[in-house]
Amino acid sequence: MYRLLSLIIMTLWVTFAGARDFDPNTKWPYIYGDFTEGTIYFEGNKKTEAQLNIHLWGNKLHYISESQKILEVPDKGVIRVEIGADAYIFSNHQLVKILSVVDNNLVVEQVKADFDALFTGTGAYGASLNSSSATDLSSLDLGGMNQPEIGLLLQERDEGSSLSVKSVYYLIIDGMQIDATKKSVEKMLTDKQKTEWKAFLKENTIKWKSSDSLAKVLTFIMNNK
């Protein structure tokens, strides 16, 4: 844990607000529009560099192998991942992006894709997957699955059906991940903290999808433990 926190603090100069440069779809269900040069840090002061991306089916880490196959990196032993200017850690076996660090605790973001919408009704994606007009799609047709070659995946990148994505925010406090919502925060407060919390909310306008606001919330929690 100490090594993880030290490595995070060492990279605080990095701007963590990297924007997605591509709208993900079923043929390219990735956060980044291309596989990007990155570094994986492992336990035991080991690291490796590779072309990396995050697959939205489970927020898993993928890399391009020497044979140009797309493979998954297991989360065991991984303490941090850097992709371009963004830094990630595994939390609950899924990658989350670090937005803020407060007293060795974190505000993180996870990008989630609405895969369920592909299987229900017509909705924003047109015909249901159960329809004959949508037989080209299935859960197994998601790009990046089954160790495909990167060249083929790139050829088909623009041919998929759109995926709706959203950002979900969490606080990681003493290694525990909680939803970054007013309800979840208030559940963890003691009676004494709740009194101070009410005063804090009067003095601060908290936007629960703002990294700056969430950093203030995390600072409040750390200062009132």
Phi and psi angles of residue 185, each rounded to the nearest 5 degrees, phi first: -65, -45
94 pLDDT higher than 90: yes
- Residue-averaged pLDDT of the chain: 83
What ranges do the domains of the chain cover?
A: 2-223
- In the structure, what pLDDT confidence band is assigned to residue 115 with cuts at 50, 70 and 90? confident
pLDDT at 139 over 90: no
Is residue 212 scored above 50 in pLDDT?
Answer: yes
The three-state secondary structure class of 18 is: coil
- Cβ contacts of 85 within 8 Å, gap of 6 or more: 14, 15, 16, 18
* Contact by Cβ (8 Å): 18, 87: no
pTM for the model stands at: 0.81
Stretch among 6-10, 14-18, 187-191, 219-223 having the lowest mean pLDDT = 14-18
Name residue 17's amino acid: A
* CA 132 – CA 168 distance, rounded (Å): 34
